[in-house]
Chains A and B, each alone.
Chain A
């Protein structure tokens, strides 16, 4: 069952997750990215690729009939250093495609709202990284880095101290509700695309299994 106004939103949603657009996103971004995941797929998702037309049409139909439900993603631990691990989540090919299509749409609008033209959010946003087809974007040479630093901070000379900060863990603690409110307040995104993004991401959140919850209660005396 869906809300009475859902049919009104469908046309806007089609612009984001329409079959034609999904095909382009798969071919230009998602297929290659899925092949680079640490856990290899035994078919390199070729079964999805050879039936791309039908798969994209099916995704569009599922979303537009409000019957789309993300599948359980892959979860595995990857060591960062010194035995500390990060949990990585890899969606299925179909869900990755939906997420990427939504993400591109939202990103294209959000980046126009950047406070400064000197804001760079990924190596590929600036010329100091050399993009090589089939490889992950990596940082470029030292001179390219210095040129990049000159652009942002206005200096490229040697300093006695270098402070390195890592805000990667911060992302794990952003509440989706809060994120949604901020994005919606920018008034740049069609809210139903944002709703679909949050719905898809929320479905992939790690949750304790009922078994774990009951054992937790038994340990703390709460039943």
Chain B
């Protein structure tokens, strides 16, 4: 894989908007993505990004990458999360998306609780927040999460909530998406998209699924299940 200096990496990211998706794809597939994490932190904070799409693209790259669980990485993720907590809808979207992989349940719940007026009035953000259900299933925060959703979310959340409920509680829920969930996303570092991983989390909490089927899912997604930050989330 080609090498790109820090200087060039930052320059392309800052000044070549059309190359950002390609560069971020290169970054997430890089053998050591953590080495350039400071540059992503920097660009999210220094005002170079003037659009919403770039912020969400960086959030997408962050959740797709396999980052080591180190003091350096945790420090930068914390900085990124605090830097994203602005009043912009898409900053909040990116913040919740990044937190859904890297933050603790308490931290994720805190973001959701403090920003209810923002996500509750936006259909897409409401879907995103409802999509965090697998992080709270069978945890001490499940009731609080569900109560917050009931209070703040409109009908947009119901389809997502019902979907995750079926995945985590019924065999039919698993059967309906079996082909989809068993197909690996071979172009991604973890061979699974983050959205699909959250669905996998719901399925792995479903005690109704045959142990053989659950074991098969774990085998198919073995790479993802060794991601240092996914390891903490898997039951």
Interface bits A75-98 vs B (CB < 8 Å: 1, else 0): 011111101010010001000000
Q: Is the CB of B195 within 8 A of A42?
A: yes
A43/B163 in contact, CB under 8 A:
yes
Return A89 CB to nearest CB of chain B, in Å: 12
Contact B127 A41 (CB under 8 A): yes
**Cβ of B106 under 8 Å from chain A:** no
Are A79's CB and B160's CB within 8 A? Answer: no
Query: Known contacts A39-B56, A42-B130; is A78 also within 8 Å of B51 by CB?
Result: yes
Q: Collect the chain B residues with CB atoms within 8 Å of residue A39's CB.
A: 53, 56, 90, 93, 124
A40 at interface, CB cutoff 8 A: yes
B195: chain A residues within 8 A (beta carbon) = 40-44
A46 touches B177 (CB 8 A): yes
Q: State how many angstroms separate the Cβ of B175 from the closest Cβ of chain A.
A: 10
Residue picked from A50, A80, A81, A88, most chain B C-beta under 10 Å: A50
Closest to A135 in B: B187
Within the assembled complex, what's the spacing in Å between the Cα atoms of A46 and B199?
10
Taking a contact as CB atoms under 8 Å apart, the answer to whether B131 and A42 are in contact is: yes
A215 is an interface residue with CB less than 8 A from chain B: no
With an 8 Å Cβ cutoff, the count of chain A residues facing the other chain is 24
B45 cross-chain contacts in A, Cβ below 8 A:
none
B31 within 8 A of A: no
Contacts of A71 in B (CB 8 A): 123
Check B52 for interface membership: any CB of A closer than 8 A: yes
**A199 CA to B157 CA, complexed, in Å:** 27
Residues in B neighbouring A40, C-beta threshold 8 A: 56, 60, 97, 193-195
Bits for A28-59, please: 1 = Cβ < 8 Å to B, else 0.
00000000001111111011101000000000
Interface hits, B67-113 → A, CB 8 Å: 90, 93, 97
Q: Which of B50, B160, B177, B180 contacts A83 (CB 8 A)?
A: B50
Q: Work out how many contacts link A and B, with CB atoms closer than 8 A.
A: 79
Contacts of B32 in A (CB 8 A): none
The reply to whether the CB of A74 lies closer than 8 angstroms to some CB of chain B is yes
Verify B53–A78 contact, CB threshold 8 A: yes
CB distance from A71 to the nearest CB of B (A): 7
Is B150 an interface residue when CB atoms closer than 8 A count as contact?
no
- A43 & B123 in contact (Cβ 8 Å cutoff): no
Is A44 a contact of B193 with CB atoms below 8 Å? yes
Of all chain A residues, the one with the shortest Cβ separation from B21 is A38
Neighbour of B128 across the interface among A42, A77, A79, A85, CB < 8 A:
A42
User: Is A149 part of the binding interface, using a Cβ–Cβ cutoff of 8 Å?
Assistant: no
**Nearest Cβ distance between residue A192 and chain B, in whole angstroms?**
28
Q: CB distance A79 to B127 under 8 Å?
A: no
Q: Which residues of B contact A78 (CB under 8 A)?
A: 17, 51-54
Shortest CB-to-CB span from A181 to chain B, Å, is 33
Q: Is A72 an interface residue (CB 8 A)?
A: yes
Given known contacts A50-B176, A72-B123, is B198 in contact with A42 (CB within 8 Å)? yes
Residues on the B chain within 8 Å of A85, using CB: 50-51
Report B127-169 CB contacts with A as 1/0, cut-off 8 Å.
Answer: 1101110000000000000000000000000011011000000
Query: Which one of A50, A72, A92 contacts B163 once the chains associate, using CB atoms below 8 Å?
Result: A50
Name the B residues within 8 Å of A46 (CB-CB): 163, 177, 180, 199
**A79 pairs with B90, CB closer than 8 A:** no
A83, B49: Cα distance in complex, Å: 8
User: A40-B195, A42-B132, A44-B195 given. 12 additional CB < 8 A pairs?
Assistant: A39-B56, A39-B90, A39-B124, A40-B97, A40-B194, A42-B127, A42-B131, A42-B195, A46-B180, A48-B159, A79-B49, A85-B50
**B residues bordering A, Cβ < 8 Å?**
16-18, 49-54, 56-57, 60, 90, 93, 97, 123-124, 127-128, 130-132, 159-160, 162-163, 176-177, 180, 193-196, 198-199
| 3 residue pairs, one from A and one from B, having the closest CB atoms | A42-B131, A78-B53, A76-B52
Q: Pull 29 A–B residue pairs with CB atoms less than 8 Å apart, ordered by A.
A: A38-B56, A39-B124, A40-B97, A42-B132, A42-B195, A43-B163, A43-B199, A44-B195, A47-B159, A47-B163, A50-B163, A50-B176, A50-B177, A71-B123, A72-B123, A76-B52, A76-B90, A77-B50, A77-B51, A77-B52, A78-B51, A79-B50, A79-B53, A79-B54, A81-B16, A81-B17, A83-B50, A85-B50, A85-B51
